[in-house]
Every structure is written in C-alpha cells, then in structure tokens.
Structure 1
Amino acid sequence: MLVLDRRQTAAALRPDAVLDAVGRALVAVAREEVSAPPRIAALTPTGLLGAMPGWVPGLGAAAKLVTVTADPGHPGRGFHRGLVALFDEHDGRALALVDGEPLTEVRTAAVATRGALALAVRPGLGRVAVIGTGAQARAQLALLAAVLPGARVTVAGRDPERARAAAALFPGARVAPGIEDAVRAADVVFCCTGATAPVVRREWLAPGTHVSSVGGSQGPELDAATVRDALLFAEWPGAAASPPPAGAHELQDLAPGRPLTLLGSVLDGTRPGRDGDTDALTVFKSTGHAALDVAAVRVAYEVAVEQGWGVRVDL
C-alpha cells in the first residue's frame, strides 16, 4: 500500500484532474451507479467522527474517516481532519492511504466549482465572491487560481487580516469591507464557512446569481428566503432526505414536491440547469459524498505512482 503524507497528498491532487474526476463521480451518483451509504457519525463533546465509504465504477472503493471539531481558541472556527483509504475495486487490495484534510478541501472546492460552471450565467463565472477565510475558503481560492485565473474575485470574512491573507492565493483578488458588499456585487458566490447561522441573505443576491454553499456543518450558511426562492441542486437526494450530518441544514423540511436536481444530471444533460432563465437564483448545496472522495483519492494515487511519491508498506 502506498502511504502519502500531507505534503505529498496535496501535491498529488492536481486541480484539473480532480475537477474532471469529481464530475465523473457526480454523474455516476445521479445515474445510481455508485454504492455509498449515508454518512454516519459518532458525536463527541467537541464535534464528531464521521465515516464515509463508497464505490464508483472504474475509480475504485474508498473510505474516509473524518473528525470535525471546534477550535476552542477561535469561536466559530473548526478543524476537519482525517484519513482516506483507497482499495482496488476488483480484488479488494489496499492501494493507498492519504491525508484526508487536503483531499477534502480540494475535492470540495472542485465540486463547488463544477456546480458554478454548470449553473452560472456568465462564462468564466464573471464576478466571484468567496465568503470565508478558513481552510476551505483558501482551498477554493487556490483551485480557482489554477483553473479559472481570469475570474474577478473578491474575498470577504469576519477578520480583515485573514481575508487579506486568503485573497493573496488568487492573484489580483480584492478584499471586500464586508460580506454583504461582496455578495451584492457578485455573479457567483462560494460560501465556505463554519457558520452556525446564515451568513448570506436573500436581499443581497442579484437576479441570476449562483451560490455554491459547501460549509455550515453545524448550521445553515444561507437564510430560508434564499432557499425558498432558488432553483436547488445537490450531489445526492439525501442532502434533503437525510438529517444532518448526512443532509444539509438548509434543505431540511422542503415543501412537498419541491424539486431538488442532482448536479450530475445537469452535467450529463439529463436534466436542465437554469434552463435559459438568466434571472433565476440557483443554489448548489454540497454536503459531501463518498463518491467524491473516491474520485479525489484515485487522482492522488495515480499522480503519486506516476511521480514516484510516497512510502510503500505491506498491509
């Protein structure tokens, strides 16, 4: 089995390859080709330990163990740490063990970007606001810099110094004086926070705005009015049908018959996205899905083998 440390894992997660792989995984989810039970979690006094196994045809089987804990020194912030193991889908051999933290950050940024590229009105995304200054926001900025360097990016968060540090990851990005200012000026909003209460309000969103929301493990990032007015998209039906931590806080108790479109169905052309309505508000709510971990760890494994990275152990 190949073992990659944090630095090697991060280096092996090539943004363009992960973007392609998560797209493939999303389509497989929408076609019901994957096997991935809902995420389970053991709750602790400071957070949770979650388990996410999955299999995607052609990519393999993988399992992630992840801890989500609060940062006692910084209220409202937290940590996501873990491990991801990849297994051969044919004979069950353990192929790789990698650091789950950079893998989760990069695959989450990739799926949020996939959602934006599929649903945004403007080619190249136009004016982009990244809300948040933590690890996930930084991963989002780094991925955008790698795959969409021409976007016009604004960063906003509670701490101006941290916002400036995050903005440095995207050359030319500006720092907004506040979240409302950034959202009101955006065509696309990436919401990447550890929020326990909404940080984006409906009245700030202009017609035709797309929102990719990936945070809010402990509560909603988006207010109820935004969810009420938007066309809704997710990775899997359980984003609405399952309670947190498997499902999304924002998608609980949707009205009966309220459409929730799977992003993979948009990517493969089975379902429309905004269907030509340039004024529609669209929201992609990501909860994470084991198929995305399978996709990302497969990329990391193949790149590491190609480059000769990592340590081989007999397990």
Structure 2
Amino acid sequence: MTQRPGAAEIGKGSLPVLMLNEAEVERLIDLRALLDGLAEGFRAMAQGRVQAPPRPELSVPGKGFSLAMPAWMQGCNLTVKIVNVFEHNLAVGLPNHLALIALFDPQTGAPLCVLDGTYITGVRTAASAVLSVASLARPDARVATVVGAGVQGREHLRLLPLVRDFAEIRLASLYPEDAEALARRFPGVRAVTDIEAAVRSADVVCLASHAYEPVIRSDWVRPGTHVTSVGYAPPRGELPTDLLERATLYVETEAAFEPPPVGCAELAGLAPSAGIRLGDMLTGTAPGRVSDQQVTVYKAMGIAMEDMVAAHIAYTAALRDRVGQHVAL
C-alpha cells in the first residue's frame, strides 16, 4: 500500500489564481442572467440553501468602515467580499464604495479568483431592486421615476427596461445638473427638476440617492405605486418612514432591521415581522401585490448572496471566454 505523505511534507506550492479587473467584470456580467440568478438566489435563501453568516465590521473613526461578506450555496464557489465604505472618497477621485471579491474551491478551499467587487456591489444592488419591480409593480405600470443620478441611478436606468416596457422613465436628482448629464447617456430617459410632480404621477419610484434625509414625501406616493430604496445614509436615510405605515414592506433578509451598517436606518425600531422577505414572495410562501391600490416598498441593504451570484456569473464567463490573467500565489 502506498503511504500518503505527511502534512509536514506537503506545501501549498504555486496555485494559479485568476485576476479580473473592473472593466472585465462589467463586460462579463450579462444583466439578464444577473436578474435571473438573483431571483434563484432569493428563492434559495428562502429555502435555507444559502449560507451567509453575519458580516463583521472594522471601523476607522472619521473615515469609514470595512465589512467582510461571506456566502455559499451548492453550485457556486465559496465567496467572500470585502467592501470598504468611505464617505469622503469622491473628494479624492475614488468611489465611496470599494470592494474585492475572492472565490475559493468548495472541494478544497483553494483560491480560484480575485475579482473587482466595486462594479458588482453597484449592479447587484440595483438589480435586486429592479427584480422587485418585476415582481411587485402593477402589471399596467408604465411610468418610472428614478431619484438619484449617481452609480445607483445609472444602474437603475440600465436595468429597468429589461423588466418592464415603460412608456417613460424620468430621472431626478438633488443636483439637477447630474440628472441632465446622466439622462443624456440613456435614450428615452428624461431629466426632470420637479421631483414632487415626477413622483406623484409615477407607477414605480426608485430611490437611488445618498441622501441623509428623505428625498420624497409619503403623500406624494399615489395608491398602487411600487417604491424601491437602495440608498444607505444613516441616521435617517432617503426613504420617508411614514410611508411604511401605509405600505407592504419587502426586504432581503431579517437583518435589514438590525442597526446600520448591517441593517437599514429607515427600519430602525421596526420588528422583523414588519417585512416580507423577497425570497418568500418569489417562492409563493408569502404574498406579493394583492390589489391595484396597494403601495409596495422594497428596502435594500445589500447582502452577500447577491455578490456570490454576480461573481459566479463573471467567473464562469471568464473561464468560458478566457478573460483575465492568472497569477501564481
């Protein structure tokens, strides 16, 4: 019988790890595949098929914080994202959110890939919100208003036409010049300055700002509207909390009700029973829209499952198309 070598005789040696930069990741992720993958991911979470433990935080006083976000389910690689949220980065020419994602072989734990997570963080957040539009907006929804002309505004404008045939998409911002500039990049999108009027006549309202105070008022939202909110800016945030008193609330997980930065500032003080998990609605174990007059709200916080799904799509496409560079580690 051949004797196996002992642990002291085995070294890691040189392992090839695929490196994917931001431009490559963006090119590799098909947006329709992302929407489909996220829908399956939310269903898997509802069925207990996703491991996603609480995310630990490192805080740099006066600067920002760093979160580690691990997730895994069968069919994907072990996924760990490190995301750094530093409020003042725009002043030095960097995004407020910077992230890296590492993938590991679930059979051995060996590292497989390190890829940019900054683009993934932005697109998966918007895609999850737009997935809620596909599932919860009225069937006859024809007008969408996006409030926010930053990264999330941009990604919403790319994704919304994939789930509904909107007759009109409007873009508003607390900085009108930003809305004008971004709208010019998307044919058919119209920049508007009167946010109240744009919200009052919309069927879908997507809040995508970095505002520390509500950017709309509850009484602007007419019956039957679906509202999404992806902004993160405690202590109050962009979503008016009194809107929740007359709306059906949907969230990614119960962790949305924890204090920031894990949970959402706008949900502070609410019990987890106040929200329906999106995955439960998608699996049919919880209700979706039940009337044309119902106001529905999706409040996002961003979860590791979404990063895992997006990274899996990028990595699989990179292997298929032979994109990226292998580095020996």
**TM-score, length-normalised on structure 2?**
0.88
The one-letter amino acid paired with 1:232 is: L
Q: Which residue of 1 aligns with 2:255?
A: 238
Cα distance per residue 1:235-264 (max 9 Å; x no partner): 111111x2111111111211x584311101
Structure 1 residue 288 corresponds to structure 2 residue 302: yes
Query: Secondary structure in 2 aligned to 1:302?
Result: helix
| Correspondences of 1:135-284 after superposition (within 5 Å) | 135-145=151-161, 148=164, 150-218=166-234, 219-240=236-257, 242-254=258-270, 258-274=273-289, 276-284=290-298
Asked if the contact 2:89–2:96 (Cα under 8 Å) also holds between the matched residues in 1, the reply is no
Q: Which residue of 2 aligns with 1:116?
A: 133
Asked if the contact 2:281–2:288 (Cα under 8 Å) also holds between the matched residues in 1, the reply is yes
Aligned sequence identity (%): 38
Structure 1 residue 29 corresponds to structure 2 residue 17: no
Aligned length: 309
Q: Which residue of 2 aligns with 1:81?
A: 98
User: In terms of mean alpha carbon deviation, does 202-211 or 26-35 score higher?
Assistant: 26-35
| Correspondences of 1:295-306 after superposition (within 5 Å) | 295-306=309-320
RMSD over equivalenced CA pairs, Å: 1.9
Asked if the contact 1:158–1:178 (Cα under 8 Å) also holds between the matched residues in 2, the reply is no
Provide structure 1 residue ranges, at least 5 long, that are not aligned to the other structure: none
Query: Secondary structure in 2 aligned to 1:182?
Result: helix
Post-superposition shift, 1:65? 0.7
The one-letter amino acid paired with 2:56 is: I
User: In terms of mean alpha carbon deviation, does 243-252 or 256-265 score higher?
Assistant: 256-265
Q: Distance in 1 between matches of 2:167 and 2:113?
A: 35
Post-superposition shift, 1:292? 0.6
Provide structure 2 residue ranges, at least 5 long, that are not aligned to the other structure: 1-16
Q: Distance in 1 between matches of 2:252 and 2:272?
A: 18
Q: Which has the larger radius of gyration?
A: 2
Q: Distance in 2 between matches of 1:167 and 1:89?
A: 43
Q: Distance in 1 between matches of 2:299 and 2:111?
A: 32
Change (3 A) 1:190 1:304: same
Query: Secondary structure in 2 aligned to 1:64?
Result: strand
Q: Distance in 1 between matches of 2:308 and 2:167?
A: 29
Q: Distance in 2 between matches of 1:200 and 1:284?
A: 15
Q: Distance in 1 between matches of 2:90 and 2:104?
A: 37
